Amino acid sequence: MSQKPNVKVRTRDHGFDDYMEVCKKVRKVEKFEKIILSQPNQSICIARLDTLARRHGMKMFESGGFVLKFPHIFEIFEHPVQRLLWCRLTSAALQQIEEEKAAMAAQKVEAVTRLRKLLMMAAGGRVRLEHIQHMSQELGLPEDFESSIIFKNPRYFRLTGEDTKYAKTKYLEIVERDPQLGVCVIEKLREQDYRERGKSEENIRFSFIVNFPPGFRISKAYRIFVFKWQRLPYWSPYEDISGHDLRSLEAHRRLEKRVVATIHEFLNLTVEKKITLEKIAHLRHSFYLPNKLKNFLLQYQGIFYISTRGNKGKLHTIFLREAYKKGELIEPNPLYLARRKLVKLIMLSPRKATYDESLVHYMKDKDDEQVTREYLERSVRLDANVSSENISNLSQKVSEGPGQVSLVHGGNAFEDTQSIGRSRGGNPFEDTQSIGRSRGDIDMKSSNGPRENIEKIMMRRNQ
């Protein structure tokens, strides 16, 4: 008997690993998008965003720097009233979300078919509803699939409950099996190979498409193992094997190949032909999967690829090798194309983004001088006794720097124009002594000129 490949020998494929590095950014961006869209006005303060992001595993003060890395997705602006930095989604990001929702709504019929095939492969024709919710995004199911798909198709699905020690568990069962859906994707590919390329029926009847990763060393013993394994018959994933005797060695080999066919068919049901090992492990009892699933899949590196990149080795993502070429799906679907647009926005260079003008000039001295100059000009124009020459002189001194303006009118000086109108008592126009807030003591009653002018300004503003 030929030996199996050593499970410790593992060859990396950098094409899939690089793809997972991008998916790591996509997962974080989707978390921030979900937080922003949950707000009433679909915009949120940066400080509040940092607080909510920490609930999703982000570090303290990390959210501000993260959203700045992707200006094509997140737009940072200054709130017109609170004068704080806020964040919202750009029009391109909102358009991508709408396209993804439209693509998901347009393929509800395909989603029903995928769900039916999943239940037909499961033991007893039922799966826990909680497990399907964990992998709803991979299967292309909407968030409300329980009401939009299950309840609207009672001829296909049925919800049942089972009381346990702690709570009531919901199961999704299939009502009736359809023999037309019980055809695997690999069987269609074999038929296509037989018709187009004229391959021998004996060689492709139970074979799989094998593409080893670059640099994978194939020994002579392993070639013999693959040659015999490709011709080994097995039970279909849609076939009920509860009545078969699985105690013999030959039955064990066939069951092992059936597990490979089951995972192969399940990956073909997903949108992106990939899923995490932790999610598919929920279906261990339903699909008769082995306990050491990772070591089992490493024996078939020509069919599957397990990537540990993207989350510091905490997650293991299973790819179907034959469905990808150079990091892209060979046969993409509309939902996959809509999700890839988010990847394109992430990969765009931040230098090509157009930032908000208020953000570029945020907290600049030039803006403060301009605001102060405009405020003084509006206030002084209300005084009919001040000539246009004094206004021009005032603007010229404001441009020289804050705190350098001294308007002499009626024998009194008003200094430090940055504090004009900022009364510590509340209303800036009630406390006339606080206008200007000179560093020295100013006696406002020493002359009637300035008081009369201030009273005129207050009366005209009240009008």
DSSP string, 43-58: EEEHHHHHHHHGGGTP
Per-residue model confidence (pLDDT) at position 327: 81
Tokens for 389, please give them: 């020459």
CATH number for 14-89 (one of 3.40.50, 3.30.420, 3.30.70, 3.40.1130): it is: 3.30.420
Q: How distant is the alpha carbon of residue 138 from its chain centre?
A: 13
∠151-152-157 over CA atoms, to 5°? 60
- Dihedral sign of CA atoms 187, 189, 190, 195 in order: positive
Closest CA to 341 of 106, 28, 99: 99
Residue with tokens 């049925």: 158
* Average pLDDT, consecutive stretches of 10 residues, N- to C-terminus, the chain (463 residues): 54 88 91 93 91 86 88 90 89 94 93 94 91 93 91 92 70 91 91 80 85 86 90 91 82 92 95 93 90 90 89 84 90 93 89 54 47 51 48 51 40 39 41 39 41 52 52
Per-residue model confidence (pLDDT) at position 443: 40
Q: Listing from the earlier edge strand, what are the strands of the sheet with 274-276?
A: 274-276, 317-320, 304-307
Please state at what angle helix 388-400 crosses helix 365-381, rounded to 10 degrees.
160
* Helix/strand number for the chain, H first, E second: 19, 13
Q: Which amino acid is at 411?
A: G
Q: Is the pTM of this model over 0.95?
A: no
Per-residue model confidence (pLDDT) at position 326: 82
Closest CA to 226 of 217, 218, 237, 216: 218
- 85's enclosing H/E stretch is strand 85-89
223, 1 contact by CB (below 8 A): no
Per-residue model confidence (pLDDT) at position 199: 74
Calpha distance 365→418 (Å, rounded):
11
- Between the alpha carbon of residue 202 and those of residues 19, 222, 231, 236, 454, the distances in Å are 37, 20, 7, 17, 102
DSSP state of 270: S
- Between the alpha carbon of residue 224 and those of residues 220, 251, 254, the distances in Å are 6, 20, 17
- 160's enclosing H/E stretch is strand 157-163
Calpha distance 228→241 (Å, rounded):
23
- Between the alpha carbon of residue 338 and those of residues 69, 101, 138, 333, 369, the distances in Å are 22, 9, 14, 9, 47
Tokens for 69, please give them: 């890395």
User: What 3-state DSSP class applies to 336?
Assistant: helix
Per-residue model confidence (pLDDT) at position 354: 61
- As beta bridge partners, residue 161 has 170
List, in order, residues 6 or more apart from 104 with CB less than 8 Å away.
Answer: 111, 140, 142, 335
Per-residue model confidence (pLDDT) at position 257: 94
Calpha distance 265→140 (Å, rounded):
16
3-state helix, strand, coil in the chain (%, to 5): 50, 10, 40
Per-residue model confidence (pLDDT) at position 82: 82
Per-residue model confidence (pLDDT) at position 425: 42
User: What 3-state DSSP class applies to 318?
Assistant: strand
DSSP state of 289: -
Q: How distant is the alpha carbon of residue 186 from its chain centre?
A: 32
Calpha distance 170→294 (Å, rounded):
28
User: What 3-state DSSP class applies to 275?
Assistant: strand
Calpha distance 268→184 (Å, rounded):
9
Calpha distance 123→132 (Å, rounded):
15
- Dihedral sign of CA atoms 432, 436, 437, 443 in order: negative
- As beta bridge partners, residue 88 has 43, 75
Q: Domain residue spans in the chain?
A: 14-89, 99-347, 365-462
Tokens for 405, please give them: 């303006």
29, 70 contact by CB (below 8 A): yes
DSSP state of 386: S
